[in-house]
Amino acid sequence: MSEDRRLDVLRAIVEDYVSTREPVGSRALTERHALGVSPATIRNDMAALEDAGLIVQPHTSAGRVPTDLGYRVFVDQLAGVKPLSAAEKRAIGLLLEEAVDLDDVIDRAVRLLAQLTHQVAVVQYPSLRRSALRHVELVPVGTRHLLVVIITTTGRVEQRTLELGEDLDESVVARLRVRLNVAAAGMRLAELDGALRDLAAEFTPAGGDLVRAVVAVVSETLAQESEERVVVAGASHLARSAGADFPHTIGPVLEALEEQVVLLRLLSEMAEDASGVAVRIGRETQHEGLADTSIVTSGYGGEGSSVAVLGSVGPLRMDYPQTMAAVRAVARYLTRILAG
């Protein structure tokens, strides 16, 4: 029973510190929370939490603040992610559903998440390597150039132009367009080789070189890794709380957020942490510049597995339940829109 009560005391300390930014004392806990025990018992529980490394006294005669480990225990003890209000859900749906293309969807999503959390929002573009092929369009451009338009199930559109050694036969192009989409639509990169391997043989001798060139450009485009990137918004939210939440300097945090490689590594690792909402706190990020931050992420865009990740970066003293709810909600709406 005492262990449950101490977790209640820890929860109260985290909630008060998030709300007030001030170290929390036993008197404040007694006045603000119905913990059902005496102030002396609360002081004993606080001493036990401090011995366990879950809270710390920042300076003499002050109250206590949560440590990284304290925040981790608090997050792990959350019974579930509280849902956003009906009004918040409607606002998310309306804003994202008005987007005209994938770039617009990503831009709206990152700005919306920053507004909901008052923190930095990061949204990864859907990876071509994890997307499925929806359609390939072949458009002759002149007599010896062919525009190959590749459309994925997540709404990405990639264009490549092929320069050929001989004049195009438009009847072959039309036939190839049909056969390519029948053979490969709905497949991911790992499945494409088998689906496309024998396609050129259907066009031998006429058009075989064209088929091989188109198949190669489709495979190479879907296999590329350099296209992965993230969009960031809301850095000003961190700057406004720099003094209280980043006691040393906010510079390393902002520098880390500017490094695409750092963010992509973190998002990729966190995509493997959990199927729902993942949280990394302080030094769990394994990046010195982000040691004073926490990151909440969720995958989006896939039925069984996500094709990209979005998240929120804020101070250790963040409202974890609210942030987790906002990240999950935006991810779900993005999934719904990209699947539509």
CATH class of 2-71: mainly alpha
The DSSP 8-state label assigned to residue 197 in this structure reads T
**CA 229/CA 309 separation, integer angstroms:** 11
Residue 227 has pLDDT above 60, yes or no: no
Domain positions in the chain are: 2-71, 86-126+228-339, 129-223
Segment 216-229 mean pLDDT: 71
The residues, ordered by sequence, that sit 6+ positions from 23 with a Cβ below 8 Å of its Cβ are: 17, 57, 58, 62, 63, 64, 65
Q: How many CB atoms lie within 10 A of CB 172?
A: 16
Angle at 128 between CA 126 and CA 133, to 5 degrees: 110
**Per-residue pLDDT tens over the stretch 83-98:** 788 888 888 888 888 8
Segment 139-154 mean pLDDT: 86
Backbone angles phi, psi at 80, to 5 degrees: 180, 170
pLDDT of 36:
84
From 106-110, 250-254, 324-328, the region with the lowest mean pLDDT: 250-254
pLDDT of 164:
86
pLDDT band at 206 (very low <50, low <70, confident <90, very high): low
| CA dihedral of 103, 106, 107, 112, whole degrees rounded to 10 | 160
**Per-residue pLDDT tens over the stretch 5-55:** 899 999 999 999 999 888 999 888 988 888 888 888 999 999 999 999 999
Q: Is 234 left (phi over 0), alpha (psi -120 to 50) or beta?
A: left
Residue 256 has pLDDT above 90, yes or no: no
3-state secondary structure of 277: strand
Of the candidates 209, 212, 221, 139, which has an alpha carbon nearest to the alpha carbon of residue 177?
A: 139
pLDDT above 90: percentage of residues in the chain: 31
C-alpha 44 chain-centroid distance: 40
Residue 190 has pLDDT above 70, yes or no: no
Number of H helices, E strands in the chain: 14, 10
Residue 212 has pLDDT above 80, yes or no: yes
Identical topology for domains 86-126+228-339 and 129-223: no
CATH class of 129-223: alpha beta
From 144-153, 196-205, 259-268, the region with the lowest mean pLDDT: 196-205
Q: How many CB atoms lie within 10 A of CB 7?
A: 16
For all residues of the chain together, what is the average pLDDT?
85
CATH of domain 86-126+228-339: 3.30.450.40
The DSSP 8-state label assigned to residue 142 in this structure reads S
Contact at 8 Å (CB) between 276 and 287?
Answer: no
**What token pair was written down for 189?**
């990169």
pLDDT of 243:
62
Segment 281-309 mean pLDDT: 85
pLDDT of 1:
47
Note the pTM of the prediction, 2 decimals: 0.76
| CA dihedral of 234, 13, 60, 43, whole degrees rounded to 10 | 180
pLDDT of 46:
92
Burial class of 32 by CB neighbour count within 10 A (0 to 12, 13 to 18, 19+): middle
From 2-6, 26-30, 290-294, 336-340, the region with the lowest mean pLDDT: 336-340
pLDDT band at 129 (very low <50, low <70, confident <90, very high): low
